[in-house]
Structure 1
Amino acid sequence: MSTYLLVHGAWHDGRAWNRVVPLLTAAGHRVLAPSLTGHGDHPRPMAPDVGLETYVDDVVGLILAEDLTDVILVGHSYAGLIVSSAANRVPDRVARLVYLDAMVPRDGETAVDVMPITQVLIDAAEDGWVAPLPELPAPHGLFGVTDPDDVAWVRSMLVDEPVLAYRQPVRLDDPAVAAVPRVHIHCVGSEVEGITRRPVPAGEPVWELRSGHDCMVTVPDDLAAVLLKLA
Protein backbone atom coordinates (compact mmCIF):
# COMPACT_ATOMS: atom_id res chain seq x y z
CA MET A 1 0.00 0.00 0.00
CA SER A 2 1.22 3.47 -0.88
CA THR A 3 0.11 6.79 0.57
CA TYR A 4 -0.92 9.52 -1.85
CA LEU A 5 -1.26 13.10 -0.72
CA LEU A 6 -3.02 15.10 -3.44
CA VAL A 7 -2.65 18.88 -3.21
CA HIS A 8 -5.01 21.06 -5.21
CA GLY A 9 -3.89 24.14 -7.10
CA ALA A 10 -4.83 27.79 -6.77
CA TRP A 11 -8.50 28.72 -6.37
CA HIS A 12 -9.68 25.09 -6.16
CA ASP A 13 -10.25 22.89 -3.11
CA GLY A 14 -9.90 19.26 -2.16
CA ARG A 15 -13.09 18.29 -4.01
CA ALA A 16 -11.16 18.65 -7.27
CA TRP A 17 -9.81 15.14 -6.61
CA ASN A 18 -13.20 13.52 -5.94
CA ARG A 19 -13.08 11.42 -9.12
CA VAL A 20 -9.50 10.26 -8.59
CA VAL A 21 -9.53 9.36 -4.89
CA PRO A 22 -11.91 6.37 -5.24
CA LEU A 23 -9.81 4.93 -8.07
CA LEU A 24 -6.62 5.00 -6.02
CA THR A 25 -8.41 3.75 -2.91
CA ALA A 26 -9.96 0.86 -4.85
CA ALA A 27 -6.44 -0.21 -5.81
CA GLY A 28 -5.60 -0.57 -2.12
CA HIS A 29 -3.84 2.70 -1.39
CA ARG A 30 -4.32 5.35 1.25
CA VAL A 31 -5.30 8.72 -0.21
CA LEU A 32 -5.58 12.15 1.36
CA ALA A 33 -6.89 15.15 -0.57
CA PRO A 34 -7.23 18.05 1.86
CA SER A 35 -8.56 21.52 1.22
CA LEU A 36 -5.94 24.15 2.02
CA THR A 37 -6.52 27.11 4.33
CA GLY A 38 -9.36 29.30 3.09
CA HIS A 39 -10.56 26.72 0.57
CA GLY A 40 -13.48 24.32 0.67
CA ASP A 41 -14.13 22.79 4.07
CA HIS A 42 -10.92 23.97 5.73
CA PRO A 43 -11.87 25.41 9.13
CA ARG A 44 -9.72 28.53 8.82
CA PRO A 45 -11.23 31.22 6.58
CA MET A 46 -9.35 32.93 3.79
CA ALA A 47 -7.52 36.10 4.82
CA PRO A 48 -4.97 38.51 3.29
CA ASP A 49 -2.16 37.03 5.41
CA VAL A 50 -2.66 33.57 3.90
CA GLY A 51 0.18 32.76 1.54
CA LEU A 52 2.43 30.05 0.19
CA GLU A 53 3.91 29.40 3.62
CA THR A 54 0.41 28.89 5.03
CA TYR A 55 -0.29 26.22 2.44
CA VAL A 56 3.06 24.54 3.09
CA ASP A 57 2.21 24.51 6.80
CA ASP A 58 -1.09 22.81 5.93
CA VAL A 59 0.62 20.03 4.00
CA VAL A 60 3.51 19.47 6.40
CA GLY A 61 1.15 19.64 9.37
CA LEU A 62 -1.02 16.92 7.86
CA ILE A 63 1.99 14.71 7.13
CA LEU A 64 3.21 15.02 10.70
CA ALA A 65 -0.22 14.76 12.34
CA GLU A 66 -1.00 11.57 10.42
CA ASP A 67 2.61 10.33 10.78
CA LEU A 68 2.77 9.73 7.04
CA THR A 69 5.87 8.17 5.52
CA ASP A 70 6.86 7.18 1.98
CA VAL A 71 4.37 9.73 0.68
CA ILE A 72 3.68 10.16 -3.01
CA LEU A 73 3.20 13.92 -2.89
CA VAL A 74 1.23 15.25 -5.86
CA GLY A 75 0.92 18.97 -6.59
CA HIS A 76 -1.37 20.27 -9.31
CA SER A 77 -0.62 23.57 -11.05
CA TYR A 78 0.32 26.25 -8.47
CA ALA A 79 0.69 23.47 -5.89
CA GLY A 80 3.98 22.55 -7.50
CA LEU A 81 5.33 25.36 -5.34
CA ILE A 82 3.60 23.99 -2.25
CA VAL A 83 4.78 20.41 -2.56
CA SER A 84 8.33 21.56 -3.30
CA SER A 85 8.62 23.55 -0.08
CA ALA A 86 6.79 20.84 1.86
CA ALA A 87 9.24 18.19 0.67
CA ASN A 88 12.08 20.51 1.64
CA ARG A 89 10.82 20.50 5.23
CA VAL A 90 10.24 16.75 5.55
CA PRO A 91 12.31 15.09 2.81
CA ASP A 92 12.62 11.87 4.81
CA ARG A 93 8.85 11.37 4.61
CA VAL A 94 8.42 11.90 0.85
CA ALA A 95 8.95 8.95 -1.48
CA ARG A 96 8.21 10.83 -4.70
CA LEU A 97 7.30 14.32 -5.85
CA VAL A 98 4.76 14.46 -8.66
CA TYR A 99 4.32 17.72 -10.58
CA LEU A 100 0.90 17.50 -12.23
CA ASP A 101 0.79 20.14 -14.96
CA ALA A 102 2.51 22.17 -12.29
CA MET A 103 4.90 25.00 -11.61
CA VAL A 104 8.36 23.54 -10.98
CA PRO A 105 10.43 26.02 -8.95
CA ARG A 106 14.04 26.47 -7.96
CA ASP A 107 15.10 27.58 -4.51
CA GLY A 108 14.02 31.13 -3.72
CA GLU A 109 11.63 31.50 -6.64
CA THR A 110 8.09 32.83 -6.51
CA ALA A 111 5.19 31.97 -8.79
CA VAL A 112 6.11 34.93 -10.98
CA ASP A 113 9.66 33.65 -11.40
CA VAL A 114 8.42 30.24 -12.48
CA MET A 115 5.64 31.51 -14.73
CA PRO A 116 6.05 35.22 -15.54
CA ILE A 117 2.50 35.54 -16.89
CA THR A 118 1.41 35.32 -13.24
CA GLN A 119 2.41 38.96 -12.91
CA VAL A 120 -0.55 39.84 -15.14
CA LEU A 121 -2.88 38.27 -12.57
CA ILE A 122 -1.22 40.17 -9.74
CA ASP A 123 -1.45 43.45 -11.65
CA ALA A 124 -5.16 42.85 -12.14
CA ALA A 125 -5.74 41.96 -8.49
CA GLU A 126 -8.38 44.02 -6.72
CA ASP A 127 -7.65 44.97 -3.10
CA GLY A 128 -4.96 42.29 -2.91
CA TRP A 129 -7.06 39.39 -4.21
CA VAL A 130 -6.26 37.41 -7.35
CA ALA A 131 -9.36 36.18 -9.16
CA PRO A 132 -9.53 32.77 -10.89
CA LEU A 133 -8.72 32.57 -14.58
CA PRO A 134 -11.78 33.26 -16.74
CA GLU A 135 -13.58 30.65 -18.79
CA LEU A 136 -12.29 30.61 -22.37
CA PRO A 137 -13.86 29.40 -25.62
CA ALA A 138 -13.57 25.68 -26.36
CA PRO A 139 -11.36 23.71 -26.28
CA HIS A 140 -9.87 25.61 -23.33
CA GLY A 141 -12.99 26.14 -21.23
CA LEU A 142 -12.56 26.67 -17.47
CA PHE A 143 -9.14 25.24 -16.65
CA GLY A 144 -9.65 22.85 -19.55
CA VAL A 145 -13.12 21.79 -18.41
CA THR A 146 -15.83 22.24 -21.06
CA ASP A 147 -18.76 20.04 -20.03
CA PRO A 148 -21.42 22.47 -18.69
CA ASP A 149 -22.16 20.43 -15.57
CA ASP A 150 -18.48 20.03 -14.79
CA VAL A 151 -17.85 23.72 -15.40
CA ALA A 152 -20.57 24.56 -12.89
CA TRP A 153 -19.08 22.13 -10.39
CA VAL A 154 -15.56 23.50 -10.74
CA ARG A 155 -16.83 27.06 -10.54
CA SER A 156 -18.60 26.22 -7.25
CA MET A 157 -15.28 25.53 -5.53
CA LEU A 158 -13.28 28.52 -6.80
CA VAL A 159 -12.18 31.27 -4.42
CA ASP A 160 -9.92 34.29 -4.87
CA GLU A 161 -6.31 33.90 -3.76
CA PRO A 162 -4.37 36.45 -1.68
CA VAL A 163 -1.54 38.13 -3.57
CA LEU A 164 0.82 36.89 -0.85
CA ALA A 165 0.42 33.36 -2.22
CA TYR A 166 2.22 34.47 -5.38
CA ARG A 167 4.88 36.60 -3.73
CA GLN A 168 6.33 34.26 -1.12
CA PRO A 169 9.34 32.25 -2.31
CA VAL A 170 9.80 28.50 -2.37
CA ARG A 171 12.45 27.01 -0.12
CA LEU A 172 14.57 24.17 -1.49
CA ASP A 173 17.63 24.64 0.68
CA ASP A 174 17.82 21.22 2.35
CA PRO A 175 20.30 19.10 0.35
CA ALA A 176 18.26 16.00 1.21
CA VAL A 177 15.35 17.14 -0.94
CA ALA A 178 17.50 16.77 -4.05
CA ALA A 179 17.45 13.00 -3.51
CA VAL A 180 13.65 12.78 -3.63
CA PRO A 181 12.65 11.33 -7.06
CA ARG A 182 10.57 13.68 -9.20
CA VAL A 183 8.00 12.85 -11.88
CA HIS A 184 6.18 15.23 -14.21
CA ILE A 185 2.72 14.75 -15.71
CA HIS A 186 1.86 17.16 -18.53
CA CYS A 187 -1.61 17.85 -19.87
CA VAL A 188 -1.30 18.25 -23.63
CA GLY A 189 -3.50 18.96 -26.61
CA SER A 190 -5.23 22.18 -25.58
CA GLU A 191 -2.51 24.43 -24.22
CA VAL A 192 -3.39 28.09 -23.64
CA GLU A 193 -1.26 30.63 -25.51
CA GLY A 194 1.18 32.43 -23.25
CA ILE A 195 1.45 29.68 -20.66
CA THR A 196 4.68 27.79 -21.14
CA ARG A 197 6.51 25.07 -19.24
CA ARG A 198 10.13 24.99 -18.30
CA PRO A 199 12.19 22.17 -19.78
CA VAL A 200 12.15 19.13 -17.53
CA PRO A 201 15.59 18.38 -16.05
CA ALA A 202 17.38 15.45 -17.64
CA GLY A 203 16.58 12.12 -16.05
CA GLU A 204 13.20 13.12 -14.60
CA PRO A 205 10.36 11.06 -16.14
CA VAL A 206 7.54 12.79 -18.01
CA TRP A 207 4.07 11.37 -18.63
CA GLU A 208 1.56 13.00 -20.92
CA LEU A 209 -2.22 13.10 -20.64
CA ARG A 210 -4.37 14.32 -23.50
CA SER A 211 -6.46 16.64 -21.45
CA GLY A 212 -7.06 20.19 -20.40
CA HIS A 213 -5.43 21.55 -17.26
CA ASP A 214 -7.90 20.11 -14.72
CA CYS A 215 -7.24 16.53 -15.76
CA MET A 216 -8.50 15.19 -12.44
CA VAL A 217 -11.94 16.38 -13.55
CA THR A 218 -11.87 15.51 -17.23
CA VAL A 219 -9.80 12.29 -17.40
CA PRO A 220 -9.69 10.89 -13.86
CA ASP A 221 -9.25 7.30 -15.04
CA ASP A 222 -6.24 8.18 -17.16
CA LEU A 223 -4.70 10.22 -14.37
CA ALA A 224 -5.26 7.50 -11.81
CA ALA A 225 -3.67 4.95 -14.14
CA VAL A 226 -0.49 7.05 -14.30
CA LEU A 227 -0.44 7.69 -10.57
CA LEU A 228 -0.82 3.97 -9.87
CA LYS A 229 2.29 3.29 -11.93
CA LEU A 230 4.23 5.40 -9.43
CA ALA A 231 3.21 3.39 -6.37
Structure 2
Amino acid sequence: MTQFVLVAGAWLAAPAWDEVVPALRAGGHGVHPLTLSGLGEKQARPVGPQTHVTDIVDEVERLDLRDVVLVGHSYSGIPVGQAAERIGDRLSRVVFVDASVPTAGESFVSAWWQGPAALQEVLDGNDGLWAPPAADEFDGQGLTDEQTARLLGGAVPHPGASLSDPAVLAGPLGELPATYVKCLLDGPEPSDDVARLLTGERWELVTMDTGHWPMFSRPDELAAVLDKAAAS
Protein backbone atom coordinates (compact mmCIF):
# COMPACT_ATOMS: atom_id res chain seq x y z
CA MET A 1 0.00 0.00 0.00
CA THR A 2 1.35 3.42 -0.95
CA GLN A 3 1.50 5.86 1.95
CA PHE A 4 1.03 9.50 0.98
CA VAL A 5 2.35 12.19 3.30
CA LEU A 6 0.82 15.48 2.16
CA VAL A 7 2.38 18.81 3.13
CA ALA A 8 0.72 22.07 2.09
CA GLY A 9 2.56 25.29 1.37
CA ALA A 10 2.94 28.54 3.28
CA TRP A 11 0.19 29.56 5.70
CA LEU A 12 -1.68 26.26 5.39
CA ALA A 13 -2.15 23.12 7.49
CA ALA A 14 -3.38 19.55 7.06
CA PRO A 15 -7.04 20.49 6.33
CA ALA A 16 -5.90 22.03 3.02
CA TRP A 17 -5.97 18.45 1.68
CA ASP A 18 -9.48 17.60 2.92
CA GLU A 19 -10.93 17.29 -0.59
CA VAL A 20 -7.98 15.26 -1.93
CA VAL A 21 -7.81 12.68 0.85
CA PRO A 22 -11.07 10.77 0.13
CA ALA A 23 -10.19 10.00 -3.49
CA LEU A 24 -6.72 8.73 -2.53
CA ARG A 25 -8.11 6.56 0.23
CA ALA A 26 -10.76 5.23 -2.14
CA GLY A 27 -7.87 4.14 -4.36
CA GLY A 28 -6.53 1.98 -1.54
CA HIS A 29 -3.75 4.29 -0.37
CA GLY A 30 -2.78 5.34 3.12
CA VAL A 31 -3.01 9.13 3.40
CA HIS A 32 -1.42 11.31 6.06
CA PRO A 33 -1.90 15.08 5.76
CA LEU A 34 0.66 16.82 7.95
CA THR A 35 0.60 20.18 9.70
CA LEU A 36 4.05 21.70 10.12
CA SER A 37 5.18 23.40 13.32
CA GLY A 38 4.06 27.02 13.65
CA LEU A 39 0.96 26.48 11.50
CA GLY A 40 -2.64 25.39 12.01
CA GLU A 41 -3.21 23.54 15.25
CA LYS A 42 0.58 23.60 15.83
CA GLN A 43 0.83 27.37 15.61
CA ALA A 44 2.30 27.65 19.11
CA ARG A 45 5.20 25.28 18.39
CA PRO A 46 8.57 27.01 17.97
CA VAL A 47 10.29 26.92 14.60
CA GLY A 48 14.04 26.95 14.14
CA PRO A 49 16.62 25.49 11.75
CA GLN A 50 15.43 22.30 10.05
CA THR A 51 12.23 22.16 12.14
CA HIS A 52 9.96 21.51 9.16
CA VAL A 53 12.27 18.86 7.73
CA THR A 54 12.29 17.14 11.12
CA ASP A 55 8.48 17.37 11.31
CA ILE A 56 8.19 15.35 8.09
CA VAL A 57 10.87 12.77 8.90
CA ASP A 58 9.47 12.26 12.41
CA GLU A 59 5.97 11.66 11.06
CA VAL A 60 7.18 8.99 8.64
CA GLU A 61 9.19 7.27 11.36
CA ARG A 62 6.52 7.64 14.06
CA LEU A 63 3.96 5.90 11.87
CA ASP A 64 6.59 3.45 10.57
CA LEU A 65 5.53 4.18 7.00
CA ARG A 66 6.95 2.33 4.00
CA ASP A 67 6.43 2.85 0.26
CA VAL A 68 6.11 6.57 1.02
CA VAL A 69 5.17 9.23 -1.51
CA LEU A 70 6.08 12.61 -0.02
CA VAL A 71 4.03 15.44 -1.51
CA GLY A 72 5.16 19.04 -1.07
CA HIS A 73 3.14 22.01 -2.28
CA SER A 74 4.64 25.46 -2.89
CA TYR A 75 7.04 26.44 -0.05
CA SER A 76 6.87 22.94 1.40
CA GLY A 77 8.74 21.50 -1.56
CA ILE A 78 11.87 22.74 0.21
CA PRO A 79 11.50 20.74 3.45
CA VAL A 80 9.90 17.81 1.60
CA GLY A 81 12.84 17.55 -0.80
CA GLN A 82 15.25 17.45 2.13
CA ALA A 83 13.14 14.94 4.07
CA ALA A 84 12.93 12.70 0.99
CA GLU A 85 16.70 12.15 1.22
CA ARG A 86 16.55 11.40 4.93
CA ILE A 87 13.90 8.71 4.99
CA GLY A 88 16.06 6.40 2.89
CA ASP A 89 14.47 3.24 1.54
CA ARG A 90 11.10 4.22 2.99
CA LEU A 91 10.74 6.61 0.03
CA SER A 92 8.95 5.51 -3.12
CA ARG A 93 8.63 8.91 -4.80
CA VAL A 94 8.51 12.62 -4.09
CA VAL A 95 5.93 14.87 -5.75
CA PHE A 96 6.41 18.62 -5.95
CA VAL A 97 3.08 20.40 -6.53
CA ASP A 98 3.84 23.80 -8.13
CA ALA A 99 6.59 23.88 -5.54
CA SER A 100 9.91 25.39 -4.69
CA VAL A 101 12.71 22.84 -4.64
CA PRO A 102 15.65 22.85 -2.24
CA THR A 103 19.12 23.96 -3.26
CA ALA A 104 21.94 23.30 -0.81
CA GLY A 105 22.69 26.41 1.22
CA GLU A 106 19.75 28.33 -0.22
CA SER A 107 16.40 29.15 1.40
CA PHE A 108 12.92 30.17 0.29
CA VAL A 109 13.87 33.78 1.06
CA SER A 110 17.16 33.68 -0.83
CA ALA A 111 15.40 32.40 -3.95
CA TRP A 112 12.42 34.79 -3.72
CA TRP A 113 11.49 35.95 -7.21
CA GLN A 114 11.46 39.65 -6.24
CA GLY A 115 14.82 39.32 -4.50
CA PRO A 116 15.59 38.19 -0.94
CA ALA A 117 15.57 41.72 0.46
CA ALA A 118 11.96 42.23 -0.60
CA LEU A 119 10.62 39.22 1.32
CA GLN A 120 12.96 39.76 4.29
CA GLU A 121 11.64 43.30 4.61
CA VAL A 122 8.09 41.95 4.79
CA LEU A 123 9.09 39.48 7.52
CA ASP A 124 11.01 42.10 9.50
CA GLY A 125 8.00 44.40 9.42
CA ASN A 126 5.65 41.74 10.75
CA ASP A 127 7.51 40.30 13.75
CA GLY A 128 9.14 37.62 11.61
CA LEU A 129 5.86 36.32 10.19
CA TRP A 130 4.58 36.17 6.61
CA ALA A 131 0.94 37.20 6.61
CA PRO A 132 -1.52 35.35 4.32
CA PRO A 133 -2.44 37.19 1.11
CA ALA A 134 -5.61 39.21 0.71
CA ALA A 135 -8.48 37.50 -1.11
CA ASP A 136 -7.96 39.51 -4.32
CA GLU A 137 -4.43 38.13 -4.66
CA PHE A 138 -5.96 34.77 -5.57
CA ASP A 139 -7.65 36.20 -8.68
CA GLY A 140 -6.75 34.32 -11.87
CA GLN A 141 -5.84 31.11 -10.03
CA GLY A 142 -8.92 29.09 -10.98
CA LEU A 143 -10.53 29.38 -7.56
CA THR A 144 -14.18 30.10 -6.82
CA ASP A 145 -15.01 32.63 -4.14
CA GLU A 146 -16.02 29.74 -1.89
CA GLN A 147 -12.71 27.94 -2.47
CA THR A 148 -10.74 31.10 -1.75
CA ALA A 149 -12.70 31.63 1.45
CA ARG A 150 -12.00 28.06 2.57
CA LEU A 151 -8.31 28.43 1.79
CA LEU A 152 -8.02 31.68 3.74
CA GLY A 153 -10.16 30.30 6.55
CA GLY A 154 -7.39 27.81 7.31
CA ALA A 155 -4.47 30.18 6.76
CA VAL A 156 -2.31 31.67 9.52
CA PRO A 157 0.83 33.81 9.39
CA HIS A 158 3.78 31.68 8.34
CA PRO A 159 6.90 31.52 10.55
CA GLY A 160 9.70 33.38 8.84
CA ALA A 161 12.36 31.22 10.49
CA SER A 162 11.38 28.36 8.18
CA LEU A 163 11.46 30.58 5.11
CA SER A 164 15.03 31.75 5.76
CA ASP A 165 16.34 28.29 6.74
CA PRO A 166 19.10 27.18 4.31
CA ALA A 167 18.51 23.75 2.77
CA VAL A 168 20.81 20.88 3.69
CA LEU A 169 21.19 18.18 1.04
CA ALA A 170 23.38 15.09 1.20
CA GLY A 171 23.29 14.41 -2.53
CA PRO A 172 21.98 15.71 -5.86
CA LEU A 173 18.22 16.28 -5.80
CA GLY A 174 18.01 14.93 -9.34
CA GLU A 175 18.81 11.44 -8.06
CA LEU A 176 15.47 11.22 -6.26
CA PRO A 177 12.51 9.66 -8.12
CA ALA A 178 10.29 12.68 -8.58
CA THR A 179 7.24 14.10 -10.27
CA TYR A 180 6.87 17.85 -10.72
CA VAL A 181 3.31 19.13 -11.11
CA LYS A 182 3.21 22.50 -12.91
CA CYS A 183 0.01 24.47 -12.49
CA LEU A 184 -0.28 26.46 -15.70
CA LEU A 185 -2.37 29.39 -14.47
CA ASP A 186 0.52 30.27 -12.17
CA GLY A 187 2.93 30.41 -15.10
CA PRO A 188 3.36 28.16 -18.14
CA GLU A 189 6.94 27.06 -17.49
CA PRO A 190 8.78 25.60 -14.50
CA SER A 191 11.46 27.74 -12.89
CA ASP A 192 15.00 27.36 -14.20
CA ASP A 193 16.14 25.15 -11.33
CA VAL A 194 13.19 22.80 -11.84
CA ALA A 195 13.73 22.78 -15.61
CA ARG A 196 17.30 21.59 -15.06
CA LEU A 197 16.14 18.79 -12.77
CA LEU A 198 13.57 17.71 -15.34
CA THR A 199 16.32 16.98 -17.84
CA GLY A 200 17.36 14.03 -15.67
CA GLU A 201 16.07 10.51 -16.11
CA ARG A 202 14.41 10.28 -12.68
CA TRP A 203 12.17 13.36 -12.89
CA GLU A 204 8.92 13.70 -14.81
CA LEU A 205 6.71 16.71 -15.53
CA VAL A 206 2.93 16.75 -15.24
CA THR A 207 0.83 19.84 -16.00
CA MET A 208 -2.54 20.89 -14.61
CA ASP A 209 -4.70 23.58 -16.19
CA THR A 210 -5.40 25.34 -12.93
CA GLY A 211 -3.75 27.70 -10.47
CA HIS A 212 -1.27 27.42 -7.65
CA TRP A 213 -3.65 25.79 -5.15
CA PRO A 214 -4.98 22.69 -6.97
CA MET A 215 -5.99 20.95 -3.74
CA PHE A 216 -8.73 23.58 -3.56
CA SER A 217 -9.45 24.30 -7.24
CA ARG A 218 -9.10 20.77 -8.73
CA PRO A 219 -8.92 18.26 -5.85
CA ASP A 220 -10.14 15.21 -7.79
CA GLU A 221 -7.78 15.89 -10.67
CA LEU A 222 -4.89 16.37 -8.27
CA ALA A 223 -5.74 13.11 -6.53
CA ALA A 224 -5.63 11.35 -9.90
CA VAL A 225 -2.23 12.91 -10.67
CA LEU A 226 -0.89 11.74 -7.31
CA ASP A 227 -2.31 8.24 -7.79
CA LYS A 228 -0.59 7.98 -11.18
CA ALA A 229 2.67 9.33 -9.76
CA ALA A 230 2.62 6.62 -7.09
CA ALA A 231 2.50 3.99 -9.82
CA SER A 232 5.44 5.49 -11.74
The 1:190/1:64 distance shift into structure 2, 3 A limit, reads closer
Q: Secondary structure at the match of 1:170?
A: coil
Question: Could you tell me whether the CA contact under 8 Å between 2:182 and 2:190 is conserved in 1?
Answer: no
| Matched-pair contact (CA < 8 Å) for 2:82–2:102 | no
Counterpart residue number, 1:197: 191
Aligned residue in 2 for 1:100: 97
Secondary structure at the counterpart of residue 110 of structure 1 = coil
| Native 8 Å contact 2:143 2:216 kept in 1 | no
User: Which residue identity is paired with 1:127?
Assistant: D
| Deviation of the 1:147 alpha carbon | 1.6
Q: Aligned pair count?
A: 222
CA 118–222 in structure 1, closer or farther in 2 if over 3 Å, else same:
farther
Shift of 1:209: 0.4
- Unaligned segments of structure 1, at least 5 residues: none
Could you tell me which residue of structure 2 aligns to residue 221 of structure 1?
A: 220
Percent of paired sites with the same residue:
35
Map of 1:48-63 to 2, 5 A cutoff? 50-51=47-48, 53-63=50-60
CA drift at 1:224: 0.9
2:44 corresponds in structure 1 to 45
Distance in 1 separating the partners of 2:99 and 2:75: 6
**CA distances 1:38-79 after superposition (whole Å, capped 9, x unpaired):** 22233x6154xx146111111111111111122111100000
Letter in 2 for 1:129: L
Q: Deviations over 1:74-133 (max 9, x none)?
A: 100000101011122222221111111000122221113333336323212212111123
Bigger share in helix: 2
Does the CA contact (< 8 Å) of 1:84 and 1:170 recur in 2?
no
The 3 A distance-change label for structure 1 pair 71 and 169 is same
Residue identity opposite 1:26 in structure 2: A
Matched, 1:184 2:184: no
Instruction: State the Cα distance separating 1:191 from its structure 2 match.
Output: 3.5
Contact 2:97 2:181 in 1 (8 A): yes
Q: CA deviation at 1:24?
A: 0.3
1:23 Cα shift? 0.4
Q: Which runs of 4+ in 1 moved over 4 A?
A: none
Superimposed CA distance per residue, residues 136-158 of structure 1 (whole angstroms, 9 cap, x where no aligned partner): 36743xxx363222222111111
TM-score by length of 2: 0.87
Check 1:87–1:52 CA distance in 2 against 1; reply closer, same or farther (3 A cut): farther
User: Residue type matched to 2:191 in 1?
Assistant: R
Report the 3-state secondary structure (helix = DSSP H, G, I; strand = E; otherwise coil) of the residue aligned with 1:19.
Answer: coil
SS of equivalent to 1:98: strand
- Distance in 2 between residues matched to 1:51 and 1:134, nearest whole Å: 27
Correspondent of 2:122 among 112, 116, 124 = 124
Structure 1 CA distance, aligned partners of 2:187 and 2:18?
A: 24
